[in-house]
Structure formats: C-alpha cells, structure tokens
C-alpha cells in the first residue's frame, strides 16, 4: 500500500541589525528586533497559525489517519516565544494528537556538521532536549540543516543515537534509482535514509501557483493519480518542503489551503495512507545502500553546499567563526554562548552567496552579498573582542588587527561602489 510522508521545515532566521565598523567595542547587541518581530508575526499570521489549525482539523476529521512531521529550529522557537507565543501553543496542540513527529536538527540551524563535529553534537543534543521539554518526546529521526548530508554526516548522526535521517533525493545521490524507497548507509546497516521526492515536493512548494506550468492547476485528485500510477513496488512518497509554502510562498489566494484540505480525503479514497518518518523506519527495510561521499543539500540546481560555502567571503567568515569553537565551549558567559549560536545560523552565509539564486527576495535586509559579508564581519569582530577579553583565543592580536583593517577597507570600497552605481543610474535616468 502506498503512503505519503509529509515533512515540513520550520525555520526563521534571527536577522542581524546594521552594525557599523565604528560600533565595534561599543555596542554588543547584534539583532534587528523590529525586523525579527515583523517577520515572525507576518509568517505566523499568514502561514503557521492557519496551517497548524488546518492540520489539527484534518487529523481530527480523519480520525487520526492523517499524519505529518516537523523540524523546528531552536532559534525559531526562541523567536516564536518572544514575538508570537501562540505559535508554540498551536504546535503543542498538534503534538497532543499523537499524529505528529518532531524531527531533530541543529539548534541554530547551523553548518556545524561541515566544520565542527563537537559543536554539531552539542547543538543536536540541545535541540533534542528542547523538543523533549516542549513536546515530551525525544526525536528519533534527524534532518540536518538544509538537508545537508554525506556518509560522514550519517556516521555522526548514528553516533548520536539516531537511526533514521532525511535528505535530498538528487540525481547525484540516487542516479537511476527511485526516491520512493527506503535506503541505507553504505557501512551502517542500522541507519535508514528517507530521500525527498523532488518533483512532487517542488510541484507543491514552488510550482503550485505558476500558471505557466504545463500541469497547472495542481489538485489533490491529480496528485493522488500521479502517485497511484507509479510502479506497484514504489510505496513511499516523501513530500518534504519548507512550512512557509503554505500562505507565504504560495499565498492563500492561490488555493493552497483548499488543496491541503483536500489531500487526506483524496488519499484515503484512493487507499493511500499517511506515515511519519518513524513509522516508515519501523515498517520498511532499506532496499540498497546509497553512497554520498561529498556533502549535498536540497538547495539550487546543483544540490551541493555552494550556496553557503561557494565564494571567498563565505569561506573567510565560516573559517574565522568556527576557529573560535573550542574556546566558546570552555566559557560560561551565557550572552557569549547565545550569540555564538545566533552567529552560526546558515542564513547569514546564504545572504553572502553570489550565485544567481539567493534569499534576498525573501529577506531583503542587505543590498548585496558584499554588504551582508561586511555587516557580519563587523559583528564578528566585536564578538571576537568580547571572547578575547575573558578567554584566550586562537586568533592572535596581529591576525585580528589585520582582519579589522580588511573589513574597514572593504566597507569603504563597497560604499564607493554603491555611490558609483547610484550616479550611473541617475545619469542614465537623465539621458
């Protein structure tokens, strides 16, 4: 019997304020509270609260046959508790149904798995403990930031006690294989891997309201027919997407909520069930292992990690940041440790990407990737000073001064470039 596994990523980045070079050593508060509050409340109103209520109604009306799973980053939990506490109350109501699985991830939605295994371990444990405190259950399934996965990350995840992991079903990983099966780790038979069905997930997440799409409009009935028409042996359909698909990326007027509301009834009418990742791990065995030597993700056409690590700015920022990891873990200053988590959020480095696709459409708080880099490094320079005042750092004074000089010069160059562009635009407008 065919089954659908819905997984939704719930993550809102903690946006940084505009922090100038001259503020270093003078102001240690790094966050744009106004922008964060506005983002959280907008997303809560347009997306999370109405979708949570709809899911709760669907679970009850289907008599528990409808199931979903979520991962909620730890920093998002903090933002909800600060600016929209009703969001966490609505997730608690969903948890009480017993039909929702909460999946573990890194607390800060960070790239620690690529740069600092010990930090990765601590963040996953912190996130698991947070999920237990909120919902009373320790997660058994893991999903890494941006679904970044490799054989090595699979090993680290298994060592932390997880036996199921979610990742992207890209061609580089699967080749000719179908995403509609359960797979395994090449050296750890106990680790089960669920891969995202890219086509069906993106049909909902990205193409649903695209009138130029040759399958527009997408209906629940059409989706179930596509699933029914697959080979009889293909039984698992992993529909993984960002939760903001509902009400944000696909606005209410697109009919996305009516589509979601119809899915359980159309599925059950066609004898298609719903499962959580934990359900699938218990019911199915891997049909074969998959080898993932180099990290891949669910971002971009390449499905690699270049959206976060692909240019010199990103590499510089990440290397300098994670060079502090050992010192931070020895400290007891709560504000430093919390800022350390916030500075690791992957979105900060995504904003620095120079690739064609980026996040500026969603989070327009920077004028360019270079602006994002300069702002982050100004904040990071102040953060380094705070760490050095209390704890010996592996970044010496000479290197730190060189870093500050580079940032200052970079800020001047960017300012000059912006002025040149503005003057050019003005001249073109006059002509």
pLDDT for residue 8? 98
Instruction: Determine the number of helices (DSSP H) and then strands (DSSP E) in the chain.
Output: 19, 9
Query: Is the model's pLDDT at 164 over the cut of 50?
Result: yes
State both tokens at 139.
């997660």
Helix (H, G, I), strand (E, B) or coil at 66: coil
Residues 315 and 396 in one domain: yes
State both tokens at 300.
């971009």
Query: Is the model's pLDDT at 179 over the cut of 60?
Result: yes
Partnered with residue 100 across adjacent β-strands are 68
Helix (H, G, I), strand (E, B) or coil at 333: coil
pLDDT over 70, % of the chain: 89
Question: Is 142 among the domain residues?
Answer: yes
Residues 136 and 15 in one domain: yes
pLDDT for residue 99? 98
- Distance of CA 174 to CAs 124, 213, 291, Å? 27, 26, 9
Whether the CB-CB separation of 102 and 95 falls below 8 Å is answered with: yes
Q: Determine the Cα–Cα distance for residues 52 and 55; give it in Å rounded to an integer.
A: 5
Tell me the longest C-alpha to C-alpha distance in the chain: 69
For residue 420, what pLDDT band results from cuts at 50, 70 and 90?
A: low
Helix (H, G, I), strand (E, B) or coil at 15: coil
Helix (H, G, I), strand (E, B) or coil at 51: helix
Query: Is the model's pLDDT at 425 over the cut of 60?
Result: no
For residue 408, what pLDDT band results from cuts at 50, 70 and 90?
A: low
Residues 6+ apart with CB under 8 A from 338: none
Residues 279 and 315 in one domain: no
User: Per DSSP, which regions of 208-352 are E strands?
Assistant: 236-242, 273-274
Q: Determine the Cα–Cα distance for residues 193 and 197; give it in Å rounded to an integer.
A: 13
Q: Determine the Cα–Cα distance for residues 195 and 277; give it in Å rounded to an integer.
A: 11
pLDDT for residue 360? 42
Q: Determine the Cα–Cα distance for residues 99 and 13; give it in Å rounded to an integer.
A: 27
Residues 247 and 318 in one domain: no
State both tokens at 180.
């509609």
pLDDT for residue 427? 47
Residues 45 and 93 in one domain: yes
pLDDT for residue 365? 75
Residues 349 and 263 in one domain: no
Q: Determine the Cα–Cα distance for residues 294 and 361; give it in Å rounded to an integer.
A: 29
Query: Is the model's pLDDT at 27 over the cut of 60?
Result: yes
Backbone angles phi, psi at 250, to 5 degrees: -110, 100
pLDDT digits (tens, 9 = 90+) for 184-234: 999 999 999 999 999 999 999 999 999 999 999 999 999 999 999 999 999
The sign of the CA dihedral 310, 184, 281, 205 is positive
Question: Is 87 among the domain residues?
Answer: yes
Exposure of 104 in the CB half-sphere (CA atoms within 13 A): 27
For residue 366, what pLDDT band results from cuts at 50, 70 and 90?
A: confident
Question: Is 265 among the domain residues?
Answer: yes
Question: Is 22 among the domain residues?
Answer: yes
Whether the CB-CB separation of 73 and 340 falls below 8 Å is answered with: no
Query: Is the model's pLDDT at 117 over the cut of 80?
Result: yes
Residues 6+ apart with CB under 8 A from 120: 106, 110, 112, 113, 156
Active-site residue numbers? Answer: 146
Q: Determine the Cα–Cα distance for residues 376 and 15; give it in Å rounded to an integer.
A: 11
Query: Is the model's pLDDT at 416 over the cut of 70?
Result: no
For residue 431, what pLDDT band results from cuts at 50, 70 and 90?
A: very low
DSSP 376-399: HHHHHHHHHHHHHHHS--SS-HHH
Query: Is the model's pLDDT at 363 over the cut of 60?
Result: no
Residues 97 and 179 in one domain: yes
How large is the average pLDDT for residues 159-171?
A: 96
Partnered with residue 194 across adjacent β-strands are 166, 182
How large is the average pLDDT for residues 267-295?
A: 97
Q: What is the mean pLDDT of the chain?
A: 91
Question: Is 24 among the domain residues?
Answer: yes
Q: Determine the Cα–Cα distance for residues 111 and 109; give it in Å rounded to an integer.
A: 7
Partnered with residue 31 across adjacent β-strands are 16
The larger pLDDT score, comparing residue 163 to residue 365, is at: 163
Residue with tokens 């609260």: 49
Partnered with residue 168 across adjacent β-strands are 196
Q: Determine the Cα–Cα distance for residues 274 and 309; give it in Å rounded to an integer.
A: 36
What's the domain count of the chain? 2
Residues 369 and 228 in one domain: no
Cα 207 versus chain centre, distance: 20
Residues 174 and 218 in one domain: yes
The sign of the CA dihedral 165, 168, 172, 174 is positive
Question: Is 296 among the domain residues?
Answer: no
Q: Determine the Cα–Cα distance for residues 421 and 425; give it in Å rounded to an integer.
A: 6
Whether the CB-CB separation of 188 and 290 falls below 8 Å is answered with: no
Residues 277 and 342 in one domain: no
User: Per DSSP, which regions of 256-373 are E strands?
Assistant: 273-274
Q: Determine the Cα–Cα distance for residues 139 and 7; give it in Å rounded to an integer.
A: 14
pLDDT for residue 313? 96
Look at residues 251, 283, 315 and tell me which one is the last residue of a structural domain: 283
How large is the average pLDDT for residues 41-46?
A: 98
The larger pLDDT score, comparing residue 355 to residue 133, is at: 133
Residues 154 and 224 in one domain: yes
In this structure, what CATH number is given to the domain that contains residue 170?
3.20.110.20
For 269, the domain range is 3-283
Whether the CB-CB separation of 50 and 251 falls below 8 Å is answered with: no
Beta-strand relationship, 236-242 and 192-196: unpaired
Residues 235 and 335 in one domain: no
Query: Is the model's pLDDT at 162 over the cut of 70?
Result: yes
Q: In what order do the strands lie in the sheet with 164-168?
A: 141-143, 164-168, 192-196, 182-184
Question: Is 295 among the domain residues?
Answer: no
For residue 355, what pLDDT band results from cuts at 50, 70 and 90?
A: confident
For residue 321, what pLDDT band results from cuts at 50, 70 and 90?
A: very high
Look at residues 283, 315, 348 and tell me which one is the last residue of a structural domain: 283
pLDDT digits (tens, 9 = 90+) for 373-393: 999 999 999 999 999 887 655
Question: Is 299 among the domain residues?
Answer: no
pLDDT digits (tens, 9 = 90+) for 324-353: 999 999 888 999 999 999 999 999 999 999
pLDDT for residue 357? 56
Look at residues 268, 283, 298 and tell me which one is the last residue of a structural domain: 283
Q: Determine the Cα–Cα distance for residues 309 and 295; give it in Å rounded to an integer.
A: 11
How large is the average pLDDT for residues 239-258?
A: 97
């Amino acid at each position: 019997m065919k089954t659908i596994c819905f997984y939704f990523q719930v993550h809102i980045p903690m946006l940084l304020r505009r922090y100038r070079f001259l503020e270093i050593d003078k102001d240690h508060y790094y966050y744009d509270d106004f922008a964060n509050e506005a983002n959280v409340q907008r997303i809560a109103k347009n997306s999370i609260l109405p979708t949570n209520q709809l899911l709760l109604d669907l679970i009850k009306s289907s008599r528990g046959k409808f199931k979903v799973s979520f991962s909620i980053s730890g920093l998002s939990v903090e933002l909800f508790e600060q600016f929209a506490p009703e969001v966490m109350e609505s997730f608690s109501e969903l948890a009480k149904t017993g039909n929702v699985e909460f999946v573990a991830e890194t607390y800060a939605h960070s790239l620690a798995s690529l740069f600092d295994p010990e930090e990765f371990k601590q963040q996953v444990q912190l996130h698991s403990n947070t999920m237990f405190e909120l919902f009373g259950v320790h997660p058994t399934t893991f999903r890494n930031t941006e679904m970044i996965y490799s054989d090595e990350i699979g090993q680290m995840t298994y060592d932390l006690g997880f036996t199921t992991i979610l990742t992207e079903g890209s061609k580089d990983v699967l080749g000719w294989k179908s995403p509609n099966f359960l797979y395994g780790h090449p050296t750890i038979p106990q680790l089960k891997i669920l891969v995202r069905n890219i086509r069906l997930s993106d049909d909902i997440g990205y193409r649903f309201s695209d009138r130029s799409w040759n399958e527009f409009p997408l209906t629940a009935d059409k989706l179930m027919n596509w699933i029914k028409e697959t080979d009889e042996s293909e039984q698992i359909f992993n529909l993984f997407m960002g939760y903001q698909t509902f009400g944000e990326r696909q606005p209410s007027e697109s009919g996305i909520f009516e589509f979601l509301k119809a899915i359980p009834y159309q599925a059950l009418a066609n004898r298609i069930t719903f499962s959580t990742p934990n359900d699938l791990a218990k019911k199915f065995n891997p049909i074969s292992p998959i080898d993932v030597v180099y990290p891949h993700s669910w971002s971009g056409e390449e499905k690699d990690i270049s959206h976060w690590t692909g240019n010199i700015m990103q590499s510089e920022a990440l290397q300098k940041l994670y060079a502090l990891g050992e010192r931070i873990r020895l400290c007891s200053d709560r504000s430093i440790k919390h800022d350390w988590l916030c500075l690791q959020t992957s979105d900060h480095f995504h904003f620095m990407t120079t690739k064609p696709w980026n996040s500026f459409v969603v989070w327009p708080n920077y004028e360019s990737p270079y602006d994002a880099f300069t702002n982050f490094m100004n904040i990071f320079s102040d953060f380094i000073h705070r760490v050095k005042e209390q704890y010996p750092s592996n970044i010496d004074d000479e290197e730190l001064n060189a870093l500050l000089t580079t940032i200052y010069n970079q800020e001047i160059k960017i300012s000059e470039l912006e002025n040149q562009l503005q003057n050019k635009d003005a001249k073109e407008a006059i002509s």
